């Protein structure tokens, strides 16, 4: 039996979701069709939209279903950027360093293909964005910033950012602000109306868009949402049948939306109690790591962090060696975000936090979720010291070798 | 597991033999290409996916290990430095010596494994005394013992080559097809994996640079010019563009490359014949033979697909000296000479110097 401690990558789909998904999948009808079956599908779809919107504090019309977090972020950043070029040129894009690759690569794409100029805000050694630098950037470049974005909770080190204050800075400069809530979803209370009010966001300035993904909360993979405030205009990425306010053409996946709705409602019901439980489990894990491997160093903000996240630097051991050894021992953890070839890369988040590459290669991320038990944490803690000792022996892949040395 | 057919079948056979096997793909570039191109058989994301699919079908776990930094230092930079020094290196041997059976093997041993299995066509035989010996593959045409000649006893003790006894590559492909591997008909790789388009000369030119130098004959007379000595290899005939014809009108070949003064020496074909090769950087593949000033017989092979030539071997003052019974053609310093006794690999050395079988002036009267 595998001990699964990589819930930030994806978390098991809930049985209630599977049931609702399968049952919705058995109904025929394109929700855009005019006939009876179409109307029945449309009803399921719009009910699902209402149910998800209720958990995010937005109007159903403000919620656009997408294929997931990456699409939501692409749509928000490119769509807002393009719209902001309509009346006059605004080249700047403001984002913290250490964002998810969906953001980093989108901003870099805008830089290469649209002539955007990124304004990267540095992180401190706990992974927190510098509000002073952000304020200075808004003061210096405000009128030229097309869009600002920030990751609410870092998906690798778990640090929770002061996003309301960032959104307030954007609001004061009348810059549209996108909140990447993918990793925060299920952990932090997300309410668009509250967040807009708290940050003084009015009209098209300040917080106007927010991204989430269903599979982070036990929903199906392949569906997420971009919440777009009524006041904001986003240019679409894909064109066609004009579904979803024309923002996201394409036949809508009714079954996935229904599954998403079930997961969102269950999450909203259980979130507070579940966060307390995970937080206690996480503290048990952190204390256990410190007791068994005193060399390990917890990264990220020790207090303002996701309840489900523990991220350590294990000095002298490569993260991928430890992942491998733990995997063979039946414990699934992560080194952070993996690229498509599975080539382990140094954590760009730790690099953004000013850590050297050796440390950024010695990272292990352990993330807990709904199915995690005390026994899982204990199994991990039992396997850890041996994995660390062995991975330390193997050391860095760049080290000199004794074998094959030339005479 | 490179993503090719050989390593996939080797892994499957190791599993069948009862070993607990984990598939490992080496990431040798930080910026891998996406799709396979030409005759390169590895190092793209597509190749990595091929390797993973094979591991899935065998039912073994699969991981990518990153040795890109070591590979750059030990193989790519070494390749450039050797050419700069006027020598002709073999990067695949270097990779075996420093990466597959060193960095990879050492990491594997440290992580608790016993051996590295590869898809090389070679055989390991245990002698009556219990020594591990490296031998040629039973299929002579596919034999890769030459590129494994650098392995030492310690490395051989932790190496397995399950394809060594296979009669032909066709059988390996048939077995791969039978096992349902998608790579069963994947083309063989020929080119140097880190030179994307196979244009070694152009790739080296960009890194070593071009500088006009002289082409000399054996008597030191200038007979032409060139754009960089590194672009020439001993034995080369084409592309010399010599302005002065040979007195006897016969074709001329590159005899020597001198990077220090950026000159290339040319001469008649007969002068390519080498009657002695020597080198002081050597290793023994297992138990060292008893060799000293008194010559012992062996066979010497100077390229991966050259025929072995019977020779006499001595070891004098720390230098191995080989006198082949028939002269060797096109030998360049930097090349590796692998020494055999029958099918057994004795060891190898890097050729530091060569002695022509034909003295200067003899060729003209010959």
Give the tens place of pLDDT for each residue, A385-406. 999 999 999 887 777 777 765 5
Q: Does domain B5-119+162-178 have CATH number 3.40.309.10?
A: no
Tell me the residues of chain B between 266 and 285 that have a Cβ less than 8 Å away from chain A.
281-283
CATH number, residue A215: 3.40.640.10
Average pLDDT over every residue of B62-88: 88
Are A291 and A355 found together in one domain?
A: yes
Pick the CATH number of B272-364 from 3.40.50.460, 1.10.540.10, 2.40.30.10, 3.20.20.70: 2.40.30.10
Are A45 and A166 found together in one domain?
A: yes
Interatomic CA distance for residues A306 and A394, integer angstroms: 32
Inform me whether the C-beta atom of residue B51 falls under 8 Å from chain A C-beta atoms.
no
Residue A402 with chain B: CB contacts under 8 Å: 106
Best probe of the B interface among A401, A402, A406, A407, by most B CBs < 10 A, is A401
CATH superfamily entry for domain B210-269: Adenine nucleotide alpha hydrolases-like domains (2.30.30.280)
- Angle at CA A372, nearest 5°, toward A367 and A373? 130
- Residue A312's DSSP bridge partners are A298, A364
- Residue B277's DSSP bridge partners are B322, B354
User: Comparing B258 with A190, which gets the higher pLDDT?
Assistant: A190
Question: Which pLDDT belongs to residue B93?
Answer: 87
pLDDT tier at B366, thresholds 50, 70, 90? very low
pLDDT at B245 over 50: yes
Give the nearest partner residue to B283 out of A342, A397, A407, using CB atoms. Answer: A407
Which two three-digit tokens encode residue A294?
A: 């005193």
pLDDT tier at B56, thresholds 50, 70, 90? very high
pLDDT at B240 over 70: yes
User: Comparing A400 with A360, which gets the higher pLDDT?
Assistant: A360
Are A259 and A281 found together in one domain?
A: no
pLDDT at B198 over 90: no
Question: Which pLDDT belongs to residue B43?
Answer: 67
Question: Which pLDDT belongs to residue B210?
Answer: 78
pLDDT tier at B42, thresholds 50, 70, 90? low
Lowest-confidence pick of A172-181, B1-10, B187-196: B187-196
Residue B283 with chain A: CB contacts under 8 Å: 406-407
Domain ends where: A243, A264, A285?
A264
Shortest CA distance from A391: residue in chain B? B111
Average pLDDT over every residue of B164-175: 90
Average pLDDT over every residue of A190-211: 95
Are A249 and A276 found together in one domain?
A: no
pLDDT at B35 over 70: no
Question: Which pLDDT belongs to residue B36?
Answer: 59
Q: Largest alpha-carbon pair distance within chain B?
A: 68
CATH 2.30.30.280 in chain B, residue ranges: 210-269
Question: Which pLDDT belongs to residue B63?
Answer: 92
**Burial profile B148-175: b = 16 or more Cβ within 10 angstroms, e = fewer:** bbbbbbebbebbbbbbbebeebeebbeb
pLDDT tier at B13, thresholds 50, 70, 90? very high
Residue A332 with chain B: CB contacts under 8 Å: none
User: Comparing B31 with A391, which gets the higher pLDDT?
Assistant: A391
**Contact state of A328 with B70 under an 8 Å Cβ cutoff:** no
Question: Which pLDDT belongs to residue B11?
Answer: 97
pLDDT tier at B364, thresholds 50, 70, 90? very low
Are A204 and A299 found together in one domain?
A: no
Q: Is residue A369 included in any domain, yes or no?
A: yes
Question: Which pLDDT belongs to residue B89?
Answer: 83
Question: Which pLDDT belongs to residue A155?
Answer: 94
Measured in whole angstroms, the distance separating CA B32 from the mean position of its chain's CA atoms is 23
pLDDT at B238 over 90: no
Q: At what angle do helices A101-114 and A69-83 cross, to 10 degrees?
A: 30
- The yes-or-no answer on residue A58 being catalytic is no
Average pLDDT over every residue of B59-73: 91
User: Comparing A366 with B214, which gets the higher pLDDT?
Assistant: A366
Question: Which pLDDT belongs to residue B29?
Answer: 79
pLDDT at A353 over 80: yes
Domain ends where: A264, A279, A303?
A264
Give the tens place of pLDDT for each residue, B80-125. 988 888 777 888 888 988 999 999 999 999 999 999 999 999 999 9
Are A92 and A217 found together in one domain?
A: yes
As to burial, measured by CB atoms within 10 angstroms (0-12 exposed, 13-18 middle, 19+ buried), residue B234 is buried
Are A129 and A230 found together in one domain?
A: yes
Residue B281 with chain A: CB contacts under 8 Å: 406-407
Q: Is residue A407 included in any domain, yes or no?
A: no
Average pLDDT over every residue of B229-257: 82
Closest CA to B359 of B278, B274, B302, B277: B274
Are A178 and A253 found together in one domain?
A: yes
Best probe of the B interface among A320, A323, A335, A343, by most B CBs < 10 A, is A343
Are A33 and A154 found together in one domain?
A: yes
Range of the domain at A148: 15-264
Indicate the pairing of strand B159-160 with strand B116-117: parallel
Share the mean pLDDT of chain B.
87
Residue A404 with chain B: CB contacts under 8 Å: 97-98, 101-102, 150, 152, 155
Residues of A with CB under 8 A from a CB of B: 320-321, 324-325, 327-328, 340-344, 390-391, 393-395, 397-398, 401-407
Indicate the pairing of strand A297-298 with strand A309-313: antiparallel
Closest CA to B301 of B247, B351, B237: B351
Catalytic residue from among B42, B43, B92, B95 = B95
SS (H, E, C) chain A: CCEECECCCCCCCCHHHHHHHHHHHCCCCCCCCCCHHHHHHHHHHHHHHHHHHHHHCCCHHHEEEECCHHHHHHHHHHHHHHHCCCCCCCCEEEEECCCCHHHHHHHHHHHHHHCCEEEEECECCCCCECHHHHHHHHHHHHHHEEEEEEECECCCCCEECCHHHHHHHHHHCCCEEEEECCCCCCCCCCCHHHHHHHCCCCCCCEEEEEEEEHHHHCCCCCCEEEEECCCCCCCCCCCCCCCHHHCCCCCCCHHHHHHHHHHHHHHHHHHHHHHHHHHHHHHHHHHHHHHHCCCCEECCCCCCECCCEEEEECCCCCHHHHHHHHHHCCEECECCCCCCCCCCCCCHHHHHCCCCHHHHCCEEEEECCCCCCHHHHHHHHHHHHHHHHHHHHHCCCCCCCCCCCCC
Count the domains in chain A.
2
Give the tens place of pLDDT for each residue, A228-264. 999 899 999 999 998 999 999 999 999 999 999 999 9
Give the tens place of pLDDT for each residue, A90-105. 999 999 999 999 999 9
pLDDT at A310 over 70: yes
Average pLDDT over every residue of A172-187: 97
Question: Which pLDDT belongs to residue A407?
Answer: 46
Which two three-digit tokens encode residue A51?
A: 């149910």
Are A344 and A318 found together in one domain?
A: yes
Give the nearest partner residue to B66 out of A390, A397, A407, using CB atoms. Answer: A397
Give the tens place of pLDDT for each residue, B259-309. 778 899 998 888 889 999 999 999 999 999 999 999 999 999 998 888 999
Question: Which pLDDT belongs to residue A404?
Answer: 67
Q: Is residue A403 included in any domain, yes or no?
A: no
Give the nearest partner residue to B102 out of A391, A393, A401, using CB atoms. Answer: A401
Q: In this prediction, what percent of chain B has a pLDDT beyond 70?
A: 94
Shortest CA distance from B32: residue in chain A? A341
Residue B66 with chain A: CB contacts under 8 Å: 320, 343-344, 397
Average pLDDT over every residue of A108-123: 96
Closest CA to A38 of A228, A252, A227: A252
Share the mean pLDDT of chain A.
94
Interatomic CA distance for residues A280 and B363, integer angstroms: 88
Average pLDDT over every residue of A261-282: 97
The residue whose two tokens read 């019901």 is A269
The residue whose two tokens read 């919620």 is A63
pLDDT at A30 over 80: yes
CATH number, residue A380: 3.90.1150.10
Question: Which pLDDT belongs to residue B209?
Answer: 77
Are A239 and A310 found together in one domain?
A: no
pLDDT tier at B363, thresholds 50, 70, 90? very low
Interatomic CA distance for residues B159 and B156, integer angstroms: 5
Inform me whether the C-beta atom of residue B209 falls under 8 Å from chain A C-beta atoms.
no
How close is the nearest chain A Cα to the Cα of B104, in Å?
A: 8
CATH 2.40.30.10 in chain B, residue ranges: 272-364
ipTM of the complex: 0.84
Residue B81 contacts by C-beta under 8 Å, 6 or more apart in sequence?
Answer: none
Q: Is residue A317 included in any domain, yes or no?
A: yes
Interatomic CA distance for residues A307 and A160, integer angstroms: 10
DSSP string, B55-92: HHHHT--EEEEE-HHHHIIIIIHHHHHHHHTT----HH
Are A255 and A277 found together in one domain?
A: no
């Amino acid at each position: 039996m595998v001990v699964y401690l990589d819930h930030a990558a994806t978390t098991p789909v809930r049985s209630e979701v599977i049931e609702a998904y399968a049952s919705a999948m058995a109904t025929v009808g394109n929700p855009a069709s005019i006939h009876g079956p179409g109307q029945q599908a449309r009803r399921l779809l719009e009910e699902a939209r209402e149910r998800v919107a209720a958990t995010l504090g937005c109007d159903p019309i403000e919620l656009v279903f997408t294929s997931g977090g990456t699409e939501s972020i692409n749509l928000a950043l490119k769509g807002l950027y393009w719209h902001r070029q309509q009346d006059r040129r605004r080249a700047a894009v403001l984002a913290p360093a250490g964002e998810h690759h969906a953001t980093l690569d989108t901003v870099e794409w805008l830089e290469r293909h649209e002539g955007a100029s990124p304004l990267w805000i540095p992180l401190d050694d706990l992974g927190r964005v510098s509000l002073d630098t952000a304020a200075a950037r808004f003061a210096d470049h405000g009128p030229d910033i097309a869009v600002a974005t920030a990751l609410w909770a870092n998906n690798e080190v778990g640090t929770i950012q002061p996003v309301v204050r960032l959104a307030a800075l954007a609001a004061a400069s009348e810059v549209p602000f996108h909140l990447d809530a993918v990793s925060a979803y299920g952990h932090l209370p997300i309410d668009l109306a509250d967040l807009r009010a708290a940050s003084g966001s009015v009209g098209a300035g300040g917080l106007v868009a927010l991204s989430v993904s269903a599979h982070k909360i036990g929903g199906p993979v392949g569906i997420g949402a971009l919440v777009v405030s009524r006041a904001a205009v986003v240019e679409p990425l894909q064109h066609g049948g004009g579904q979803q306010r024309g923002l996201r053409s394409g036949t809508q996946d009714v079954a996935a939306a229904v599954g998403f709705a079930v997961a969102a409602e269950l999450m909203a019901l259980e979130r507070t109690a579940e966060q307390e439980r995970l937080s206690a489990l996480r503290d048990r894990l952190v204390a256990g790591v410190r007791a068994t491997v005193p060399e390990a160093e917890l990264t990220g903000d020790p207090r303002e962090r996701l309840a489900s996240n523990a991220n350590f630097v294990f000095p002298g051991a490569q993260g991928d060696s430890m992942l491998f050894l733990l995997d063979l021992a039946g414990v699934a953890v992560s080194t952070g975000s993996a690229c498509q070839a599975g080539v382990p890369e140094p954590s760009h988040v730790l690099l953004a936090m000013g850590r050297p590459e050796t440390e950024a290669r010695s990272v292990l991320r352990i993330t807990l979720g709904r199915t995690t038990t005390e026994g899982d944490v204990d199994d991990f803690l039992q396997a850890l010291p041996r994995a660390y000792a062995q991975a330390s022996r193997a050391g860095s892949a760049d080290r000199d070798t004794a074998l094959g040395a030339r005479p | 597991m490179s993503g090719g057919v050989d390593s996939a079948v080797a892994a499957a056979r190791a599993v069948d033999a009862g070993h607990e096997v984990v598939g490992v793909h080496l990431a040798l570039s930080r910026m891998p290409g996406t799709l396979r191109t030409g005759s390169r058989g590895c190092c793209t994301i597509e190749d990595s996916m091929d390797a993973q699919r094979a591991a899935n079908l065998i039912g073994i776990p699969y991981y990518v290990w990153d040795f890109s930094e070591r590979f750059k230092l030990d193989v790519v930079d070494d390749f450039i430095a050797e050419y700069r020094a006027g020598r002709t290196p073999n990067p695949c041997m270097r990779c075996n010596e420093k990466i597959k059976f060193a960095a990879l093997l050492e990491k594997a041993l440290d992580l608790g494994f016993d051996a590295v299995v590869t898809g090389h066509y070679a055989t390991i035989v245990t002698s009556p005394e219990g020594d591990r010996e490296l031998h040629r593959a039973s299929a002579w045409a596919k034999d890769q013992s030459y590129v494994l000649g650098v392995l030492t006893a310690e490395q051989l003790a932790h190496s397995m080559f399950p394809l060594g006894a296979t009669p032909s590559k066709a059988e390996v492909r048939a077995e791969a097809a039978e096992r349902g591997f998608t790579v069963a008909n994947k083309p063989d790789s020929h080119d140097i994996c880190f030179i994307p388009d196979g244009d070694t000369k152009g790739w080296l030119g960009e890194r070593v640079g071009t500088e006009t130098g002289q082409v000399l004959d054996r008597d030191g007379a200038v007979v032409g010019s060139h754009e960089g000595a590194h672009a020439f290899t001993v034995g080369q005939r084409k592309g010399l563009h010599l302005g002065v014809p040979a007195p006897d009108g016969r074709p001329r070949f590159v005899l020597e490359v001198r990077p220090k003064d950026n000159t290339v020496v040319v001469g008649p074909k007969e002068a390519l014949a080498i009657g002695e090769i020597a080198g002081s950087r050597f290793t023994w593949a297992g138990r060292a033979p008893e060799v000293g000033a008194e010559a012992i017989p062996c066979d010497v092979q100077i390229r991966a697909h050259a025929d072995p030539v019977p020779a006499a071997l001595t070891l004098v003052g720390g230098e191995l000296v080989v006198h082949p019974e028939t002269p060797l053609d096109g030998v360049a310093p930097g090349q590796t000479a692998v020494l055999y006794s029958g099918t057994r690999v004795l060891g190898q050395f890097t050729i530091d110097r060569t002695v022509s079988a034909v003295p200067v002036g003899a060729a003209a009267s010959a």
